[in-house]
Amino acid sequence: MAAGAGHEPVDGGGESAERLFELPPELAIDTDVALRVIVGFIRNQLRQAGFSRGLLGLSGGIDSALVAFLVADAIGPENLLCVLMPYRTSSSESVEHGRLVVGRLGCPSDAVDISPIVDGYFGRDGEEGAGGAAATEATPLRRGNFMARARMCVLYDRSVEWGGLVVGTGNKTESLIGYTTLFGDSACAFNPIGDLYKSQVRQVAAAVGVPEEIIRKAPSADLWPGQTDEAEAGFHYPELDRLLFWMIDKRRSDEELLAMGFLEAQIERVKRLVAVSEFKRQVPPVAKLGPRTTGVDYLYPRRRPGSARR
Amino acid sequence: MHPLRIVLAQLAPRLGMLDENLARHMEALASARAGGADLVVFPELGLTGYQLQDLAAEVAMRVDDPRLAGLAAATVGLSAIVSFVEEASDHRLFISAALLEDGAVRFVHRKLFLPTYGLFDERRFFAAGDRLRTVDSRLGPRLGIAVCEDFWHLAVPETLALDGAQILINVSSSPGRDLAAMHEVGLGTAASWRNLMRTYAQLTTSFVVFCNRVGVDETISFWGGSEVIAPSGETIFTAPLFDEGLHFVDIELGDVRRERISLPLLRDERPELHLRELRRILAERTEMAIDAASDPPDDRPQPGASEPS
């Protein structure tokens, strides 16, 4: 993607001499207003559901670190459980950064090694797992998806004894291009940052004091060693965010995007990614048979009176 | 002349919890009364919450509902504007705002414009009102009452002013969105509303009172920022964004006269011209034959006539 005419990235991180992250100017938001909205949203979601606690999977990356800071701010760190769920090949830096966030917030934390779960299915060192012989040859994609869903299982199990709701940590960029695992990392009770592009996540993260090393490092799903989002998917976040912003939020046509300097191949590719992942962003369709069908003509607010569990 | 004391009840209604919201309205009325209020303004659907969907029918009240009468009974010596889901006798549901005065339901305005685009889906659940009238009030000046989207249509404030309103009141549940660093308050919605209300106050040389809710319904956060604008277009008061609160604002009704004497825009309005052109536009839109006899001579070049080269 080429930078559009007149596009001058501004330096994130305010007055610091060294640039912390690249923030396309059209994506810059008023972080004070964003924090007011997000913190109010978190408190309301929990209150309306009858909960006072939350929990999340802390990967060591910026998205879950930011959500941990936001939830701690909204309901107090003592009401947030951060669960670290490394696999044996996860980068040690991920765990260190997870611990850094926990230490900074002073919130309860828990560590669950998901290796036995994952290896128990795919097998390990030539030994078959529950998935049988074929599963030992599983692609990194299958293994990655399984890990994401194993973490979901652990979080939802922990949520029962913790007595809290699972807070989502996915951002708008990955949701729009479908860089998520359905019923895996995208599973949650509510998501405070799902309408923030990655560049905006960085901006808000800097504003709430997420440690710089976490903001600075290359985003990674850490599903296999050395994996980074940008290398795997072949994009640069600030440019991808800009393209999505103009394409989706600002409804620019292909011709207009081309005139802004975006490349045809990138436009086509991103449009395809967005279209092909539509299913991941929606509740599965139900065959319409009866007089009133959930999601079609039975439409109640999720937090209707009487919906609170306690 | 005593100033008129307006109370902006910038509340966060509980979604679908009519009894709880009624109780909070009663408390707010009591506090406002204790503070010497003349007029208390509550936000759109303050008695029910906004994102009701199929709950709308379950929280609907008839205008003669005893619960509304109970609220009205708390307005002896006081005026209040409250908003709720109104069920008509034919069972249509409206988003309504009622003027309660001296113990009675004095007037009801049914929301005229129901946004059904973007994040809004009002037309699916509600019927649109079809009457725009001002109302005489115990407060003295005539009031013009509108609900949220009604003020995104120029004809509404204009008609209310021509019908004699000196105080235009808009009650809203405006969802905050379009977060950006470039806006006045970091929120596109708030910046747009502020522009509109200042403009209406200035052009109608009337007070504009805006009461917007706060709190969260489902995914939507309402931004508050309730305001009172003088007939000059100057902002007298702006409430904080996102915080609940009762805000007492005194206005000088004499400001309307002063402004209208020095800036006689209303005097110079041409409603007959407007009406004539509106009739023509409507006829053209519906491709009906224009009644030539009722039209003034038109000597403009007709389409297809030769143009000077």
Separation between Cα atoms, residue A224 and residue A114, nearest integer Å = 14
* pLDDT for the residue numbered A6: 36
Closest among A175, A260, A228, A250 to A1, alpha carbons compared: A260
B180 vs A32: CB contact, 8 Å cut-off?
no
Q: Where are the domains of chain B?
A: 4-269
| pLDDT per position as a tens digit, A95-132 | 999 999 999 999 999 999 999 999 999 999 989 999 99
* pLDDT for the residue numbered A1: 37
Share above pLDDT 70 across residues of chain A, in percent, rounded to a whole number: 94
| pLDDT per position as a tens digit, A3-19 | 333 344 455 545 444 57
CA distance A30 to chain B (A): 4
Residues of A in contact with B241 (CB under 8 A): 33, 36
* pLDDT for the residue numbered B99: 98
* pLDDT for the residue numbered B296: 52
B242 vs A40: CB contact, 8 Å cut-off?
yes
B186 vs A29: CB contact, 8 Å cut-off?
yes
In which residue are the tokens 């969907």 written? B53
CATH number of B4-269: 3.60.110.10
Separation between Cα atoms, residue A244 and residue A145, nearest integer Å = 25
B179 vs A28: CB contact, 8 Å cut-off?
no
Task: Give yes or no for residue A143 having a pLDDT over 60.
Answer: yes
Longest alpha-carbon distance in chain A: 63
Separation between Cα atoms, residue A294 and residue B259, nearest integer Å = 55
Q: Which of B176, B187, B217 is closest, CB to CB, to A301?
A: B217
Q: What is the mean pLDDT of each run of 10 residues along chain B (309 residues)?
A: 93 97 98 97 98 97 97 97 98 98 97 96 97 97 97 97 98 90 80 94 98 95 97 97 97 97 97 96 79 52 47
B179 vs A44: CB contact, 8 Å cut-off?
no
Residues of B in contact with A301 (CB under 8 A): 15-16, 51-53, 55, 217-218
| pLDDT per position as a tens digit, A247-261 | 999 999 999 999 999
Tokens at residue B175, please?
């969802």
| pLDDT per position as a tens digit, A190-226 | 999 999 999 999 999 999 999 999 999 988 888 777 8
* pLDDT for the residue numbered A222: 82
* pLDDT for the residue numbered A303: 87
Residues of B in contact with A192 (CB under 8 A): none
CATH number of A21-234: 3.40.50.620
User: Which of A11, A30, A202, A248 is the best substitution to test chain B (most B C-beta atoms within 10 A)?
Assistant: A30
Asked if B125 and B52 touch (Cβ cutoff 8 Å), the reply is yes
Computed over every residue of chain A, the mean pLDDT equals 92
Separation between Cα atoms, residue B184 and residue A13, nearest integer Å = 22
Q: Which of B16, B187, B221 is closest, CB to CB, to A304?
A: B16
Helix, coil or strand: residue B249: strand
Q: Where are the domains of chain A?
A: 21-234
Q: Which of A45, A298, A303 is closest, CB to CB, to B15?
A: A303
Specify the DSSP element, H or E, that contains B142: strand B142-147
Separation between Cα atoms, residue B85 and residue B129, nearest integer Å = 12
Task: Give yes or no for residue A298 having a pLDDT over 50.
Answer: yes
- The DSSP code sequence of A71-124 is HHHHH-GGGEEEEE---TTS-HHHHHHHHHHHHHHT--EEE---HHHHHHHH-B
CA distance A142 to chain B (A): 33
Separation between Cα atoms, residue A252 and residue A171, nearest integer Å = 22
Interface membership of A41 toward B (CB under 8 Å):
yes
Separation between Cα atoms, residue A57 and residue A152, nearest integer Å = 8
Phi, psi of B106 (to 5 degrees): -90, -30
A299 vs B53: CB contact, 8 Å cut-off?
yes
* pLDDT for the residue numbered B187: 86
Q: What positions of B carry a catalytic annotation?
A: 44, 111, 148
